[in-house]
């Protein structure tokens, strides 16, 4: 709470900005003062966008990506390989993979990872929906692209077991872990180096 040095309507805006992730009192005040100083159109545009996001954006009923239309444009795209599904934690990860431009299959967004400390179990993620897609879409390969954190890895192992239990002929793969671009071996931790050596690739001539 602020100390109330500003008029109440301004205080209220500051308070609302502090609800945003990573925004403290200082940044919130700066943002509110910026809105106050800028032209009316800026505030109106912002207010409209805020409401539009809440009204229009929903989850694709197939892959659970954020979308204006259901199914989303990726699920509708006939040029994408429909038998390969890449499983990601959140919409941000999907966007990052799309920006890389190398993947031409479909996606499945889990909306989180298994995290007992945060009270999140399998029933809180879109796991049952993924298992259902195997049959209805005739999926041949599932790429597990959860992040290589403790919880992301545990989620990937959980999914691999569940997927193979449902379809033992399914190809289940995990994205490679290793030395990042611009990395320096001297500063890598032993785990990363172990992974990098294990998942080494032949150089084709």
Q: Contact positions toward another protein, by CB under 8 A?
A: 22, 114-117, 119, 121-122, 149-151, 153-155, 157-158, 180, 183-184, 187-192
Among 13, 14, 75, 127, binds Zn ion (CB under 5 A): 75
- Strand partners for 107: 86
114 interface partner picked from Zn ion, another protein, none, CB below 5 to 8 A per type: another protein
Q: How far is the CB of 62 from Zn ion (least distance, A)?
A: 5
Q: At what angle do helices 40-56 and 25-37 cross, to 10 degrees?
A: 120
Cis peptide before 71 (omega within 30 of 0): yes
Q: Which of residues 72 and 139 has its CB atom nearest to Zn ion in the complex?
A: 72
150 interface partner picked from Zn ion, another protein, none, CB below 5 to 8 A per type: another protein
Q: How far is the CB of 94 from another protein (least distance, A)?
A: 18
Distances (CA, A) of 124 to 23, 111, 115: 28, 9, 10
| Region of 182 on the Ramachandran plot (φ > 0 left; ψ -120 to 50 alpha; else beta) | left
Size of site (CB under 5 A) for Zn ion: 7
Specify the 3-state DSSP secondary structure of 108: strand
Residues in touch with Zn ion (CB under 5 A): 60, 62-63, 65, 71-72, 75
């Amino acid at each position: 709470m602020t100390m109330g040095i500003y008029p109440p309507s301004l205080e209220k805006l500051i308070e609302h900005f502090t609800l945003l992730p990573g925004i403290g009192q200082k940044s919130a005040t700066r943002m509110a003062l910026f809105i106050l100083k800028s032209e009316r159109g800026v505030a109106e545009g912002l207010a409209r966008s805020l409401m539009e996001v809440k009204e229009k954006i929903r989850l694709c009923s197939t892959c659970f990506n954020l979308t204006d239309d259901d199914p989303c444009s990726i699920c509708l795209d006939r040029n994408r390989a429909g038998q390969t599904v890449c499983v990601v934690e959140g919409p941000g990860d999907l966007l990052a993979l799309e920006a890389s431009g190398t993947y031409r299959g479909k996606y499945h967004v889990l909306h989180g990872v298994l995290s007992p400390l945060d009270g999140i179990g399998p029933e809180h993620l879109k796991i049952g929906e993924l298992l259902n897609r195997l049959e209805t879409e005739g999926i041949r390969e599932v790429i597990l692209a959860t992040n290589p954190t403790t919880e992301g890895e545990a989620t990937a192992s959980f999914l691999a077991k569940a997927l193979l239990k449902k379809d033992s002929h399914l190809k289940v793969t995990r994205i490679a872990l290793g030395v990042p671009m611009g990395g320096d071996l001297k500063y890598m931790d032993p785990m990363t180096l172990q992974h990098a050596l294990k998942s080494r690739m032949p150089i084709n001539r």
